[in-house]
Structure 1
Amino acid sequence: MQMKSLLFKLALFLISWGICTHLLAKPILKIAFSDNKAPYSNSTCQCGVEFEIVQTIVKNMGYELEPHFAPNKRMLLMLKSGEVDGIIGVIENKPRDNGFTTKPYIRFQNVALTLQDRHLPIESLKDLKGLKVAAFQNASLNLGYEYAYAISTASEYEEVSPQLLQNKLLYGGRTDAVIADLYIFLASNQLVKEQVNTMQKLDLHYVFPATEYVLEFHNKQFRDAFNQQLQPKNLKKIYQKLADKYFQPLMSGAVFLPMPSWMN
């Protein structure tokens, strides 16, 4: 009889504990990130500059982040279908699904990269004329009208995913120039160094201004809550810490700070 009483009390405790745990659990916010985009987002470790910035803001909103990793084009479909609440990597003022966009939360530095021994004089986008060019997926949508015109004059143009294919194409001599965020390209060297000679010297052509990205939600409430937590006083040190952690090992010297310009 005593054993039954103990078991009954234990069952009540477990039920109560389960209810309390459920009530105390944070609500979940589902956000889609680009897959294989180190050092910004990495599905293997669930880490990276962009991932950790968004994770911090979502936590401050009072939510638990549930990340989903997908190619850029797939993310839009995930937002439309309601599979996720938001998607990263939307150009400011260019929402892709008539959703609700946040303030810029990060900026990237896209460059044109060529092999130094080719001596290609790329001083502006016009100099892409007649070249073979390989860019990241959706570059033609995200990099503006001047870029769209420039690539129309290229001898060959392709957008590839995953982005490490750009490294193989450039180091393998199968394209003249690649268009990529500088740090994504450098991080991808580690993934292809057994297949191509990544020790070849590069020329970096800064023909793009920094590109700022916003996060797009299908819900205005999420957008407003995200913006409320996107405060310089809370995040400036985090941007610097993440730049030192992820960018510094890839390139000696001063690193590009991924903090959006409006926070300066």
Structure 2
Amino acid sequence: MRTRKRLARDPPYLESIVQYHGKWPFYRFLGMQEPASVLFSLFNFLAHDHGISKLKQYIPASYKLRRYYLLLGYFGLASWILSMVFHTRDFNVTEKLDYFAAGASVMYGMYFAPIRVFRLDKPDALDGKTGTVLRLWTALCVSLYLAHVGYINFVRFDYTYNMAANIAVGVVQIILWTSFSIQRFRKVGRIWAAWPGLILAWIVLAMSLELFDFPPWWGMLDAHALWHLGTVGPTIWCFLIKDAQEDMQSSRLKA
């Protein structure tokens, strides 16, 4: 109502649309507070669901990394379900669940990266002791995530800290996957070997849309919604599983 009055004012305001309590006004559609973000979150959910089905179809259960790839998909499903819930109705509980799920998805990406890059799933990973490094890495990641959730839930719900924490974890992943992609490309000389680094570069570009904080176009499409739209493509790309197929073929040849 207040936004409509501002838009109808003559002469017009220098800024007709303003934020209220840090949020832009949106037109509701079918009861959804941010319909574009809900729709694009659904697209991401479907992309993860499709990727999981492809993994189950083409990657045999005997492949050791299969369960880690599947968990990557399941964490994504949970994250985008709660994203849809939050953008449909913005309550304290839905906001926290969205943040917790997104943080868990990002943290799992951090957890999975060294497992794939250094093959911590193998008995001889790094120190030659069966599972020792993997168990320590698992305990560290779980502890860091629980500490993060405990802080923002029981100490202070700090938006700046939450974003900084996710960015820091993301940067570590970018370094790992980019280095892995470069080494892999030099080894095999095929463009698919560079996919992990290229996928992350796309995601970073999509996330950078958050920097362009502007009033929603047509009352629905804002920078946050565009960010969600921008992650659909790399999600589909991520589950093309070429790397897993080549890794299995290499293992068979060595055997």
Fold conserved between structures, TM > 0.5: no
TM-score range, shorter chain: under 0.3
Structure possessing the higher radius of gyration over alpha carbons: 1
Higher helix share: 2
